[in-house]
Every structure is written in C-alpha cells, then in structure tokens.
Amino acid sequence: MKIALAQQNYHIGNFTANTNKIISAIEEARKQGADLVVFSELSICGYPPRDFLEFDDFINQCNASIDLIRAHTRDIGVIIGAPVRNPVKEGKDLFNGAWLLYQGEIKGIAHKTCLPTYDVFDEYRYFEPAWEWNVLEFKGRRIALTICEDIWALSENPLYRISPMEQLIGQHPDIMINISASPFDYDHDEDRKEVVRANVLKYHLPMVYCNCVGSQTEIVFDGGSLIYNATGELIREAKYFEEDFMLVDLDASATVTGAGDTERRQLDKDMRVSKISDPEKIISYLTAENNIRQIYAALVLGIRDYFSKMGFTKAILGSSGGIDSAVTLAIACDALGAENVRAILMPSQFSTSHSVDDAVQLSKNLGNPYDIIPIKPVFDAFMDSLKPVFGDLPFSVAEENIQSRTRGNLVMAIANKFGYILLNTSNKSELATGYGTLYGDMAGGLSVLGDVYKMQVFALARFINRDKEIIPENIITKPPSAELRPGQKDSDSLPEYELLDKVLYQYIERRQGPQDLISMGIEEALVNRVLKLVNSNEYKRNQFCPIIRVSSKAFGVGRRMPIVGKYLS
C-alpha cells in the first residue's frame, strides 16, 4: 500500500483555506499513485481551536468542510482530523476524531482516548474520551488509527488508565496510523521520535505518524512527521518548521534490510519534562548549538505565522543598543523582511553614546529602517507636571519607570499611526523576576524572547553572527543595563544571569522546590530571593502579551499560577 503523508500549516477557523489546502494535497497524492493520504489532528479546523468548539456554527462548518473533501475521495482514501458530535447525552458533546473517508463516504471514525489536560493542553474541557475502539478496514488492511496523545500511554507509570493500542492490538491490525498536533519545545525534541519507535517495537507494526507544522499564536508546531517500518527502522522523516509531503510504499519498506537499534528506552509519563538536573550542566544544555538552532527556527516561524495569519505585515520595536532588542530585531528581519521592521531608538539622558551607535550600526547591518527620538524633552515635561506632587523626593524607581513608559508611548504612537505591530523584547529571565515596567518595556503585541533565558539570548546572538557580524560585538560583550539611571547594570538588581538562569530553570521548567535547589548546592538566601521574585511578580506576567513558546514550561497559557498567593512569596 502506498501512503502519502501531508504535513501542513493550518489556520484556526479558516475553513476555506484549510479545506483547499487539504484538497490540493489529495490531488497531489492521487497523481503520485497513493492509496491513502494522511493529515494531522484537527486539520479541518486547526489546532487548538479552544472555545470555538463551544459554538455549534463552528462544528457545522467543520462538517461542511468534510462534505466538500468527501467528494474528492472517490478513488483514494483520506484520513483527516475534525471534531465529532457525541450522540450520547451523558458526557461532553464532542469527540476529537480521526475520520477515514473513501469513495465519497465516511468509512469510519476513531475517537481520541487520552485527552491531555496539562501545560498548553486543555482537551478534557471540550472532548469526551473514547469508550470503544475498533480497527478500520481499508483495501484489505486493518488500521489501528489513533490521535496524538493516544500513543504516549505506554510507560511504566502511565498518565492515563486506558491505552488505545492495548485495546486495538487484539483485533490484529496491520499498521498503526497516528495523526498528531504535537508542539515544539527544545526540551524533548527526541522524545516524540522515541515514543513512535517504542510503539513500533512493542506492537511489531509499522507506523505512519503525521504531525502538523506552523505557529498558532504562542504555540509552535515543528512538523517532523515520521514513518517507521515494523522493525523499528526510520524510513522517512519530514522536514522541520516547514510544510512537507511524503509518499512511502509500505510493502517495499517492510523488507528494508537492517533492523537498526531495537533497544527499548525506559519511558515515563514525565518524559516531556527536562531531565537536566545537574546545576553545572544547565547553562551548557540551554545554550547547546542544536537547541539554539531549533529555538531560532521556532521564533522565526512564530513571528511569520502570527503576522500572516492575523493579516499584519509590518513590525516595530524599541532598539536600545542592548542584546535583547538586537536579537529580536535580527529575528524579526529574518521572519518578515528587513524592510518591514522599523526600529525606534529612544535615548535618554542616561543612555551612553555607544548604545545609540551600536543600535544604528545594527540597523545598518540588517538594512531595516530606523528613527532616533530622544526622550529627555518628554521626560522633563512629565517631571514638570509631577513636581507639585513629587516635591523634593529623591530620584527613584518612579522616575526610571517614567522613562520606560515614555518609550512605550512613543513606539505605540508610531505603531498606531502607521499600522505596525509592536514586538516586545523582554526575555524570560526578566519576566520571571519582574524586571520590567508595565505599560513600558513590557508593552507589545507579541513577545519574541519571553520564553528564552538571558544566557540563551547571548547564544542566539552568537548564532545570528555565525557567518558574519550582524549584531555588533559590543552589544554582545558589554554588561547588560536598562540605562535608566547613571551607571546602572542589571546585576545591581538581579544575580548574575548565569547563576539566575540555573535557579529559574530548575524552578520553572523542572518544578523543583526550595529545598531541592538548596540541596544542589545553591545558596539558601539566593534561592529564597529568586523564588520570591518569581511568585510575587505573577501580576505583571498576567498582563503580558502572548509569548512564543519554545520550552516545556513557558509563561502564559501553559503555566497557570494564582496572582494572590502566599506560597514562596
């Protein structure tokens, strides 16, 4: 049997575009002689549709799209993902379904059993888990059809009570097909591949695994669809961070010589959580070349899709001569084209001349438009207006934040006037500790580096400069500073980033408590200080813009903490 695999980038709720894209791939599969073409999870409506699923009209449009696609299945089988109405009164109103279409008919539907409700996933909010499992017949083959999380229920300590494959294997399937919407993060890029292979080795069946690609607001899907033969050998692997189309003859691939490495790896339900526990290895892991390369690709895709799917074309940001804005600007120019990214340099009386020079040189290297707007006149006007209230009180954080908010107002004014979207430049280390000004440098329509630790920002800068100097060397090597008062450095308010990021990663990504961190040899006073900063600044992050997710635990929808809480604060 020849099976085509269509790894596509969908637009949530754009039924016309998604349906046309699917039909186009069906026609291509037919031309190439495929018997069956496979698409990803919820391909009809895009993943994750979230509360759109609560609208009956949304489900009706899903079904209308399926009817259009059915007309193109007269001589080719098609597996697509779409919601399914639950005919039983009890339970949720919908299933997450994988539909087998052929000869203009619905030949069968598999319902998703394992509904992830952790991190960015919230499927049990909308879907009823499957309560029956049946192999689907197609052209003499028996297909065990599952959806994404269904194949992760095979560890020694599973997250779910029921494994769909354990229910299906007794019906003697010939092949496993899994349609997926598995997000990217650098913490487990190999885990997905290992889970697919583990299923193959356990059940001694080939597997076709189709993942989606593209960014949906904050979540990036990296593709990397897979085809394994029954001996656990990888036959085909799709591209990462871009659409792809593959065709495989399973009858031919079943006889490929060489079984490869058939050793089974120990799996557990927390394999999506980083196992890097040694504090001395964390920074080298966070900044490893492979991780940084993937993060860069994910951020480019995240910006590009956010703009294209929202109908935006032009970005703007504040360019300070610091490393965060420099890396953000370089990535945005790659994603959108340098001519579509405008940098605004807003020096204050505390800005050093080399910061302005560095920012100007960066824009010249990138070829993007820039403007210089000194903020001292605006700052002075604020101070004159506030003089009757402030009196002779000494300079403090109030005056620092006025500068930051002045910059926010200026860049947003230009954005409003000319139709730009403001890219935020705050990094994860800053967001974690509250080192930022609400309505100032925390303003933005999309956060590019909000899931990237400061040490990773430095590594991204080096990656950007891998072939030639784009980001001026002085931006990379000078001590980080907000430049809101004379001689200010980030280290005046925060621990050195190399130490800070170790603590933050253990607490945020690995969910280690204070005693765990202290037992690793980290000073108790530092642990208590950093964790208090993280938890007491939740109110700031709650008002922040969407963050492109690249780690296993990003701020935003995947990390839900109370604002008013006493724990560790």
Q: Which residues are catalytic?
A: 41, 112, 148
**Annotated binding-site residue? 323:** yes
Within 10 A of 290 (CB to CB), how many other CB atoms are there? Answer: 10
Are 224 and 20 in contact by the 8 Å Cβ rule? The answer is no
Residue 295, CB-side half-sphere exposure with 13 Å CA sphere: 30
Q: Which amino acid would we find at residue 353?
A: S
CA distance 250 to 365: 50
CA distance 501 to 454: 7
**Annotated binding-site residue? 537:** no
**Annotated binding-site residue? 401:** yes
**Annotated binding-site residue? 434:** no
Give every CB contact of residue 145 below 8 A, 6+ residues apart in sequence. 79, 98, 100, 108, 110, 136, 177, 178, 179
**Annotated binding-site residue? 155:** no
**Annotated binding-site residue? 140:** no
- Angle, helices 497-508/454-464, rounded to nearest 10 degrees: 110
**Annotated binding-site residue? 540:** yes
CA distance 208 to 40: 11
**Annotated binding-site residue? 380:** no
Helix H or strand E encompassing 80:
strand 77-85
- Dihedral (C-alpha) 56, 61, 66, 69: value to the nearest 10 degrees? 180
- Kindly list the distances between the CA atom of residue 414 and the CA atoms of 58, 379, 385, 420, 522, in Å, as whole numbers in the listed order: 37, 18, 24, 8, 45
Nearest to 319 by CA among 462, 182, 555, 483: 483
Give every CB contact of residue 461 below 8 A, 6+ residues apart in sequence. 323, 326, 327, 471, 475, 476
Nearest to 424 by CA among 331, 547, 302, 557: 547
List, as one string, the DSSP characters of 303-361: HHHHHHHHT---EEEE--SSHHHHHHHHHHHHHH-GGGEEEEE---TTS-HHHHHHHHH
Give every CB contact of residue 170 below 8 A, 6+ residues apart in sequence. none
**Annotated binding-site residue? 430:** yes
**Annotated binding-site residue? 13:** no
Query: Encoding tokens for residue 16?
Result: 């016309």
**Annotated binding-site residue? 308:** no
Query: Encoding tokens for residue 291?
Result: 């991780």
Residue with tokens 């196992």, as numbered in its chain: 275
Helix H or strand E encompassing 184:
none
**Annotated binding-site residue? 320:** yes
- Dihedral (C-alpha) 360, 361, 363, 366: value to the nearest 10 degrees? 180
DSSP H helices, 448-523, are: 454-464, 473-477, 497-508, 514-519
DSSP 97: E
- Angle, helices 376-390/397-418, rounded to nearest 10 degrees: 130
Residues annotated as binding site for L-glutamine?
Answer: 118, 182
Which residues make up each annotated binding site for deamido-NAD(+)?
401, 430, 540
Q: Which residues participate in the annotated binding site for ATP?
A: 318-325, 425
Binding residues: 118, 182, 318-325, 401, 425, 430, 540
